[in-house]
Chains A and B, each alone.
Chain A
Amino acid sequence: MMTPTLTISALTRRFAGVAALTDVTFSVAPGERVALLGHNGAGKSTMMKIILGLIPATTGQLSVCGTTPGSPEARRQVAYLPENVAFHPALTGLEQIRHYLALRGQPPGGAMALLEQVGLAPAAHRRIGTYSKGMRQRVGLAQALIGAPRLLVLDEPTSGLDPVSRRDFYTLLDGLAAQGASILLSSHALTEVEARTDRILILSKGRLVAEGSLPDLRRRAALPVAITIVPRDADDPALRQALPEATPAGGALHLTCGQADKLAVLARITRLGDRIRDIEVQPPSLEDIYSHFSQRDGQ
């Protein structure tokens, strides 16, 4: 087991007595892609700012690349993409990236290659003031790629990106992770991070309410499966008899069952044979799973 790039234990942050984060503990290993999920105000951005050393923790221990958050050593190895990233509108994309390269002690000549990587090369000589939100987001992404960082902290990195750019973005992240970079990114949609992250952390009202891979979370949530049956004859009494728990609506029968009972119920349905015209099985949606975890603890 490699030493984690990021370790957080019992982290608590209070603003004027109000707890923004309470007793949060987790770690991120090298090469791991971790998604931080939560509603607006759940504490995602606060957590990131503490990891970056922009604001101090009230209590708790943090280790970033083996050192203190915000120390020069940590800052050299950590890249950040803030939510709604902004730049000086008077600079061009190229000038801005050259500046960031210089601040990281890298040769500014690599700026164009970085912009090409995020698909901004054609706009490199235009002022950032004329960029769309998605283009600004790409500049932000380009600066986060500077100097092979060991930890990338990305706050809602895909907001403002179209679906194709999103896919390109996650492909970029895959490449970085394959080289050993740890990635912590936040989002408020589970659907988006579904297939592209190794682990999911769900934050609700400043508490870590769930942690695990998506199949893990799906199993633990144990949300019911919804089954819709379209009978040949809506008033067929044999159907009612075989499936007493189903409720009829709009010419179809609806029923739900636990994950564990799914096969047994389906077996009962298939035994009805010709009496059924169609059947549809809906597993709990990602949004259902997310709501399940993010609301459970908040009540």
Chain B
Amino acid sequence: MNRILATALCEFRIALRNRWVAIAVVLMALFALVLSAAGSAPTGGLGVDRLSVIVASLTSLAVYLVPLLALLMSFDAIAGEVERGTLPLLLTYPVARWQVLLGKMAAHLAVLTLAVVTGYGLAAGAALLADPSAKAGLPALVRLMWSSVVLGATFLGAGYALSSLARRPSGAAGLAVGLWLALVVLYDLGLLAAIVADNGGWFTTHAFSVALLANPADAFRLFNLAASGATAAASGVGGAAATIPLWQALASLLLWPLAALALATLAFRKVTP
């Protein structure tokens, strides 16, 4: 436990020095503020409070930004140590590889939490200032915060796995960008294309919901939209939120970080210094 904590403290300090903390917080705050400014117009007609609408917009933002931030922080974790030549020495210390990974993940999750809480908090503050009834949206906001961190954990784990597999930072960066594009951008496009081609057949009725749950980013979106009841404000794939039970989306969201961490541990074990 102490070794994990020591690793986490050390990694957090490095993230602070490398400006990762500043970059993540500023990026999140900027996007959240822009969204809340842009999303303030159409509230009246929907019959929900301002904050709930902002949470729906923030969900769409988080689906893109949180995985990106997580992958950016994690792709260097193992490959960077290999390249700097710091890994052989670390591995001769009485610390297990999974402890190293958990320590790094704890530090990176702390950075992500800081960014998410700051960004969403600013957006919520702006909404509450303009509309006191927005308090009703606070539970949805809190849910979005912790589920964003859980989503981040999944992509951190995936980043460590890619970092171990690539063993060179440049290769790991390429793989991370590829994973982000595949899971966050192309996956939904592929699903939509499949639905159009399928025209209401077996894929649309059976496979579609499974395919959505299989992707951590989609599970995150489904969970937040279904739970906040703001599906009316959502469009596209988010519209499917109404048809998939909440617990299924939650289960997928919570299981993915464990699976990603297990994959990362397996991949890290294969790295010979």
A contact residues vs B (CB 8 Å cutoff): 49, 52-55, 72, 75-76, 78-80, 82, 84-88, 90-91, 95, 99-100, 102-105, 127, 140, 143
Contact = CB atoms under 8 A, between A and B. Distances in A.
7 contacts: A52-B88, A54-B92, A86-B86, A88-B14, A90-B18, A91-B13, A102-B5
B85 A104 contact: no
Contact of B13 (A54, A95, A103, A143): A95
Contacts of B92: 52-54, 75, 78-80
A156 to B, nearest CB: 13
B93 A104 contact: yes
A72 B13 contact: no
Contact of B85 (A78, A80, A84, A102): A84
Contacts of B95: 103
Nearest to B84: A86
A90 B14 contact: yes
Nearest to A51: B92
Contact of B10 (A52, A54, A76, A99): A99
B89 interface: yes
Contacts of B94: 72, 75-76, 103-105
Contacts, number: 70
B205 to A, nearest CB: 53
| Majority secondary structure of chain B interface residues (helix, strand, loop or mixed) | helix
Interface of B: 2-3, 5-7, 9-10, 13-14, 17-18, 84-86, 88-89, 91-96, 272-273
Nearest to A153: B92
Contacts of A104: 93-94
Contacts of B2: 102, 105
B3 A103 contact: yes
Contacts of B88: 49, 52, 54, 80, 82
B14 A91 contact: yes
Given A55-B272, A76-B94, A82-B88, A102 B6 contact: yes
Contact of B89 (A55, A82, A105): A82
A79 to B, nearest CB: 8
B247 to A, nearest CB: 40
Contacts of B272: 54-55
A90 B17 contact: yes
Contacts of A76: 94
B86 A88 contact: yes
A18 B2 CA distance: 42
A192 to B, nearest CB: 23
Contacts of A127: 17
A91 to B, nearest CB: 7
Given A49-B273, A95-B10, A103-B6, 6 more contacts: A85-B85, A86-B85, A99-B7, A102-B6, A104-B93, A127-B17
